Amino acid sequence: MAFAAPLWLFGLLALALPIALHLYGRRPGRTIKLGTLRDIPTTPVARAFAPRIEERWRLLLRCAMLACVALALATPLFPSHRASGAAVVAGATIRDTDTGRQLLDSLQQAGADWVELGEREDTWSGLLRAAQATRGPLAVVGTGTAGELGQVRPSLANAVTWHVVAPSSAPIDRASHRRVVVLNGNGRSDVTRRLDAAIKAVAGEAAFTATVDWNPADESAALAPLQSQDLAIVVGSKSEPVSPARVLRLTEQEILSSDLPFRVASAWLAPEQRAGLTRLPVPAAMALPRHEATAPVLRQTAQRVSNWLFALGALLLLAERLLAYASRSRSILA
Amino acid sequence: MLLTPRLLASTRDLTLIARRIADGVGFGAHRSRAPGPGLEFTQYRPYQPGDDLRRLDWKLAARSNRFFIRESERESSVPLRLLVDSTGSMAYAEDGVSLLDAARMLAAGLALIADRQGDAIGLIAVSDAAAAMVPARREQAQLARVLHALERMQAHGRWPAWNEIESAAATGGRGITVLLTDAAEVKDEIFAAIRRLAALRHEVIVVHLAGRTLLEFAWAGAIRFEELESGRTVDVDASLARDRARAATQQRFELFERAVRALGADYQRVLLDEPLDGALRGWLRLRTRRA
């Protein structure tokens, strides 16, 4: 279960307050030593300390009320329709290849639904559609071409895995090592780590990552020795370097976003060399953070759950007061 | 100044306390059956240096120019036995003064009064442990002995079987027996002892010590009451239990008083916040009138 505002869960610490008060208040007021207990009536004895049991119930009610309010403030995100459903987002052309068909069949056998992309629909809108249907993990199966991704990326609470399927079944030439050159002017370790992971995931053993001496003022000079099949990844550059190799320019945001493997894959895979790369799972480090954002639909559901929790808390408070009133009036009657 | 137990407890000097109480009661208020020296003339004795000049017969000296001392002797000694209940229940305290403290002070005051009248004093601490007993005697150091024993007395144990009291109470002949107790009985063992004492033809005076808070049951809220001698506890909402507890206590006290009086014994209830000399004085006056 996820929470939209998990910091409010610290509100559960407030439970300690009524418990502490209960434990403190439970101690009998004082002890008086008497010569004889003969004169002390036995009937009010039971009644005098009977509220202790009712107090235990009231403590439970109080704790439950506080927990309700804390949970309501934390806004739990419940799956709107199916709790654990998984969906596959894929274009219709994926089924044209053997590997694509096998992948989709295996995913569907595993219980995943298939959300098919429309004629002009991009992957993002397909993902959004899938996310509205389920809170379970989503899988994207694509060819890794740049045109599949749309312009506006939605924020999702679902876990997304990416699969790249080559459109043709031509064998890959693993012998010819292509080079990936990363020009990283940023040097942030998390950026580098994600980038490395993405390259590993996309190119695997076929990649040969090279480091070149690099003068940030003249990126073209650094990239000149590259050949046409090589890939240069330039991080955070504003200029447009001239190079015989394909150049992928990435901003920091793009590196930290979840579709990085997709971008790397679409730049890396030349159409004639896409074959053989069937499944490219996203490394765990690259999975979307769950609390990053919620789809509007999910937020509405969460709001409804919160409101119910608030109402339940109010009911519990009412019950607690009623119980207190009942026990007091009973002791007055006695 | 009111000689309440609380005030008297500010000093630990029992002799001083006894003197304050005895002075407060007033010497001579109690007409003794055994008058002290100087009341009943018996004989003359020639004056010797060192004799108290107050006892010199001045009229005789004026007549005969010879110095004689008037000598007198008590016709009989009526021993005063102080039976102090020192069982665990006497540790019940209000405002820091326990019933045993009050009993100690009263006993000391009575002992001093009796000593001034030349009566024999005995002390028996009634408890299950070996009773700190001072046999009734007429001696110079007897008062000091009694006061010392009183000072060392502590509240512990339970009311003993009658034969343990009897051996101490029956020695030394009949006399006045003052029992200072809180009447906290398990069954009716204290009353049984009083009945036996009365049967021994002692003149029994029961001083019933009690706390005012106990008598009024002036507690409130949830309270755990613990029985001193047994350690049993009972949790009670004192506010709810007050009416019944107060009625029960007062009824028990009344029944006890009526039963004691029915035996021909004297009964005096002393509350912990009352001045001790006042309580004693009123009661001694009553006895004097009756006598």
As a whole number, the mean pLDDT across chain B is 82
The band of B252, judged by pLDDT with boundaries at 50, 70 and 90, is very high
CA distances from B272 to A326, B101, B214, B276 (A): 41, 10, 10, 9
Interface check for B218 against chain A (CB to CB < 8 A): the answer is no
As a whole number, the mean pLDDT across chain A is 69
Q: What residues of chain B lie within 8 A of the CB of A39, using their CB? A: 217, 245, 248-249, 252
Burial (Cβ within 10 Å: 0-12, 13-18, ≥19) of residue A227:
exposed
CB within 8 Å: A45 and B241? yes
Q: Note whether A137 and A160 are within 8 A (CB).
A: yes
Characterise A152 by phi-psi region: left (phi > 0), alpha (psi -120 to 50), beta (else). beta
Q: What residues of chain B lie within 8 A of the CB of A31, using their CB? A: 223-226, 233
A154-160 average pLDDT score:
69
pLDDT at A314 over 90: yes
Threshold 0.80, pTM exceeds: no
- CB count in 10 Å sphere of residue A214: 17
Task: Using DSSP, state whether A117 is helix, strand or coil.
Answer: coil
Which residues in B132-265 belong to E strands, given as ranges?
133-137, 176-181, 203-210, 222-227, 233-237
- DSSP states along B41-62: EEEEEE--TTS-GGGB-HHHHH
Q: Hey, what are B183's tokens? A: 């009447």
Percentage, residues of chain A above pLDDT 90: 6
Cβ-nearest to A34 among B92, B222, B235: B92
Which pLDDT does position A202 carry in this prediction?
A: 65
Task: Using DSSP, state whether B125 is helix, strand or coil.
Answer: strand
Predicted-complex ipTM score: 0.72
d(CA B228, CA B169): 26
Task: Using DSSP, state whether B226 is helix, strand or coil.
Answer: strand
Which pLDDT does position B291 carry in this prediction?
A: 55
Residues 6+ apart with CB under 8 A from B200: B166, B169, B170, B174
pLDDT at B248 over 90: yes
- Position of tokens 């009064």? B113
Which pLDDT does position A287 carry in this prediction?
A: 39
- CB count in 10 Å sphere of residue B46: 9
The band of B220, judged by pLDDT with boundaries at 50, 70 and 90, is confident
pLDDT at A58 over 90: no
Percentage, residues of chain B above pLDDT 70: 86
Interface check for A289 against chain B (CB to CB < 8 A): the answer is no
B232-249 average pLDDT score:
87
pLDDT at A7 over 80: yes
pLDDT at A133 over 80: no
Q: Hey, what are A145's tokens? A: 């071409």
CB within 8 Å: A30 and B224? yes
d(CA A332, CA A320): 18
d(CA A30, CA A60): 26
Which pLDDT does position B36 carry in this prediction?
A: 39
Task: Using DSSP, state whether A278 is helix, strand or coil.
Answer: coil
d(CA A58, CA A325): 11
CA-based R_g, chain A, Å? 31
d(CA B24, CA A173): 125
**Which DSSP helix (H) or strand (E) runs through A179?**
strand A178-184
d(CA B273, CA B279): 11
Which pLDDT does position A288 carry in this prediction?
A: 36
Q: What residues of chain A lie within 8 A of the CB of B249, using their CB? A: 39
pLDDT at A289 over 50: no
A222-246 average pLDDT score:
74
Which of these, A36, A31, A29, A129, lies nearest to A88 by C-alpha position?
A129
Q: Hey, what are B136's tokens? A: 């009734």
Which pLDDT does position B245 carry in this prediction?
A: 92
CB within 8 Å: B219 and A331? no
